[in-house]
Amino acid sequence: MMPHGEMSVVEQELRDALAKFMRAAADKDRKAVATALARVTELQQQLGSEAPEMLRHYLERRSYQKALEFLNSGRPETEKPQCGH
């Protein structure tokens, strides 16, 4: 298990992939969007059960902006989803 507040390598790579995805979407670069989304999906599948519940929640619902904000925020890993899904 990672020390509190430290991201795993997969989470760091996921943050980078999400950032690339968001930039590609903003630029309307369909090829870059597809490539980045494939990488996000690949990394999402590599996240273990020890990954923060909120991060898994956002990714499962394809809330990629929120997932990126979560990874950049340093929020507690123990935070629970509150949206009632």
Q: Is 17 exposed, middle or buried (0-12, 13-18, 19+ CB in 10 A)?
A: buried
pLDDT tens-digit profile of 52-82? 999 999 999 999 999 999 999 976 655 555 5
For residue 78 the two structure tokens come to 């123990």
Contact assessment for residue 47 and residue 56, using Cβ atoms and an 8 Å cutoff: yes
Top pLDDT among 51 and 39 is at: 39
Sole residue written with tokens 């630029």 = 27
- Output the pTM of the full model: 0.81
Name the more confident of 76 and 16: 16
Residue 1, pLDDT > 70, answer no
What does the block give as tokens for 36?
């980045």
